[in-house]
Every structure is written in structure tokens, then in C-alpha cells.
Amino acid sequence: MEHSQQLIEVSTPGRGLIDVTEQVAAAVVTSGITTGLAVVFCRHTSCSLLIQENADPSAASDLLQWLERLAPDGDPRYRHSAEGPDDMPAHLRAAVTSTSETIPIVAGALGLGTWQGLYLAEHRLAPHRRQLLVHLSGS
């Protein structure tokens, strides 16, 4: 079994979903692994990873609006606001999503479904530089 790790840096424009499918797919190709698993890990506590629909942008919009209702900015009940009114909501949104995703590698490519894409969900309002650690294993 072979293993490979790559660090992917993503610049975010602020809150939203950033499609990182192609960057992770390129890491799979570079590794030479044709059958196995890709584990993508987000190295932050105020953003997350999601596998979501990639065909209709309204799905992403609805998801972001739902997260806003779930963890609104500036809620006076939050005590943690060290970095502003979007600080604690970002942590809460990351807590109900995922810090990692595991995707099968099939025939040298990500085994995602037809309408699936891998997204970094930036939960902060300001732009950030995020790191994704991609661990690939297989043969």
C-alpha cells in the first residue's frame, strides 16, 4: 500500500462555499494511486468541508442561509467573540458540518457521484488563507 500527503492552500473571499474538487483530484493524479482512499482534513476551526450538489447553485445558497439561521452572527448569548461577531457562529457552523471527508479513489480519480463536489465552507466574513491536508492511501 502506498501513501501520499499533500497540503492544499485555499484563499477564500470570505463566507461562502469554495469548490476544491479539482485541487484534490489533482493530488490524486499526482500520487499515482489508482485504488484507495482520499482523506481531506481541514486544519482550522472556523471553516469546514462538505460534499454537496455541484449542479444547481441554489443548493449552496440554501445551505448557507440555513447555517445563518442555525448560528446567527452577533447573537448576544455567545460569550466567545475574540475575533468579532462572526467568530463563535463560525465555530458552531464548523461543529455541525465536518472537518474531514473521505472519498474513494476509483480508477485513479475521485469516486464522487455525478452531482457531487467537495467544498470548503468558509464560515468567517473576512477572506482567509486555509489549509487542507490531503492524505491518500491505496495502490
Q: What is the CATH number of the domain that holds 38?
A: 2.60.120.460
Among the listed residues 115, 97, 98, 101, the one whose alpha carbon sits nearest the alpha carbon of residue 53 = 115
- What is the pTM (predicted TM-score) of this model? 0.96
Report the pLDDT value the prediction gives residue 16, as an integer from 0 to 100. Answer: 98
* Per-residue model confidence as pLDDT tens digits over 33-92: 999 999 999 999 999 999 999 999 999 999 999 999 999 999 999 999 899 999 999 999
> Do residues 80 and 91 touch, judged by C-beta distance below 8 A?
yes
> Which three cell numbers mark 54?
455541484
**Into how many domains does the chain fold?**
1
Helices marked H in 44-135: 57-70, 87-95
C-alpha span between 35 and 25 (Å, rounded): 13
C-alpha span between 80 and 45 (Å, rounded): 13
| Boundaries of domain holding 101 | 2-138
